[in-house]
Amino acid sequence: MSSLDDRPPPPPPPPPGGPGPGGDPYGPAPAAPTPARPPAGRPTIAPPRRLGRRTPAPVSTSPGGLPTRRRWGRFAAGITLALLGAWVFAAVYVSAGKRVEVLALANDVSMYQELTREDLRTVRVAADPSVETVKASQADDLVGRIAAVELREGTLLAGTQLFADDVSPPAAGFTIVTGVVDRGQAGPSALVPGRQITVNVIPKQQSDPPVDQVDAELYSVGDEDENDGKRQIEFIVRNADNTTALGDAARDGRITLGVPGQD
């Protein structure tokens, strides 16, 4: 006689769905459920973008799949043009602001008057080659020079406004007159500096009163102009009532020069 412990264990219960075909009590495993498809015509909503660092822009590639090289030639050309523009601006700025020290008149100086150190002062002006000036370092060399023209306070001093060191100004009571003579208005013998000459005035109109012949001393003679043949001259005359009229005629070129005894 057997006990309860000697009996075989009962078979396991069949899985849900009942026995499968072929008498298999367990049958095949059930298939996974298929996800539901969205309704037709409704667009699929893209997932929201996650906030955070931006992703780098894609690098363009060559047909071979390699990244393209940057155009360093254009970059270098741009840098070169920028540097060149900066250099030109700096050069123009420096040249525009460049100033030099020159001499100006601190007082009025009359013609034939000696310059003193108190008559000169130093000023700074922009460098301009077209304007004749005297460097401030030459101030001591100009002391004692004679003014050849009227010098006005505040004007820049030029070397042509003074007599040369080896030239004596006219004596008291005499004046230097500047004029112009054309070809045929003065013979070669009359155009010698230091020679005694006679100056004749040509009236502007026939009705103008004649001017007496004036004795003078030729002071300087300029070169003949290649275009019109005129020469600039300077002569010394004694101060008289007709000195002003003589100066006007000389500047207009309405004079003739002669040599006493050869007229």
pLDDT, tens digit (0-9, with 9 covering 90-100), for 115-137: 999 999 999 888 677 788 889 99
- For residue 199, the model assigns a pLDDT of 92
Mean predicted confidence (pLDDT) in 21-31: 53
Which domain covers residue 117, as residue numbers? 99-161
The CATH number of whichever domain residue 216 belongs to comes to 2.40.30
User: CA-CA-CA-CA torsion for 211, 212, 215, 216, nearest 10 degrees?
Assistant: -10
Query: Which residue, 161, 194, 214, sits at the end of a domain?
Result: 161
The rounded mean pLDDT for the chain is 76
Among residues of the chain, what percentage have pLDDT more than 90? Answer: 14
- Whether 155 maps to a domain, the answer reads yes
Asked if 192 and 243 sit in the same domain, the reply is yes
- Whether 210 maps to a domain, the answer reads yes
Mean predicted confidence (pLDDT) in 39-52: 57
Per-residue pLDDT reduced to its tens digit, 158-204: 888 888 777 777 777 888 888 999 888 888 888 888 899 999 988 88
Helix (H) or strand (E) holding 130: none
**Is pLDDT at 207 greater than 60 in this prediction?**
yes
Mean predicted confidence (pLDDT) in 199-216: 81
Asked if 252 and 192 sit in the same domain, the reply is yes
Among 37-51, 89-103, 180-194, the minimum mean pLDDT is found in 37-51
The CATH number of whichever domain residue 137 belongs to comes to 3.90.1210.10
Instruction: Report d(CA 119, CA 107) in Å as an integer.
Output: 5
Asked if 145 and 190 sit in the same domain, the reply is no
Among 186-200, 203-217, 233-247, the minimum mean pLDDT is found in 203-217
Per-residue pLDDT reduced to its tens digit, 217-236: 998 888 888 888 889 998 99
**Is pLDDT at 110 greater than 70 in this prediction?**
yes
In which band, very low, low, confident or very high, does the pLDDT at 64 lie, cut at 50, 70 and 90?
A: low
- Whether 31 maps to a domain, the answer reads no
Please check whether residue 199 is in contact with residue 180, taking contact to mean a CB–CB distance below 8 angstroms: no
Asked if 211 and 149 sit in the same domain, the reply is no
* Residue 238 CB-density burial (10 A; 0-12 exposed, 13-18 middle, 19+ buried): middle
Mean predicted confidence (pLDDT) in 62-82: 62
Please check whether residue 196 is in contact with residue 217, taking contact to mean a CB–CB distance below 8 angstroms: yes
Asked if 151 and 188 sit in the same domain, the reply is no
- Global pTM value: 0.46
**Is pLDDT at 241 greater than 80 in this prediction?**
no
- Whether 78 maps to a domain, the answer reads no
Nearest to 199 by CA among 182, 223, 215, 176: 215
Asked if 152 and 183 sit in the same domain, the reply is no
- Whether 13 maps to a domain, the answer reads no
Query: Which residue, 111, 131, 161, sits at the end of a domain?
Result: 161
- Whether 201 maps to a domain, the answer reads yes
Query: Which residue, 161, 192, 214, sits at the end of a domain?
Result: 161
- Whether 59 maps to a domain, the answer reads no
User: How many domains does the structure of the chain reveal?
Assistant: 2
- Whether 204 maps to a domain, the answer reads yes
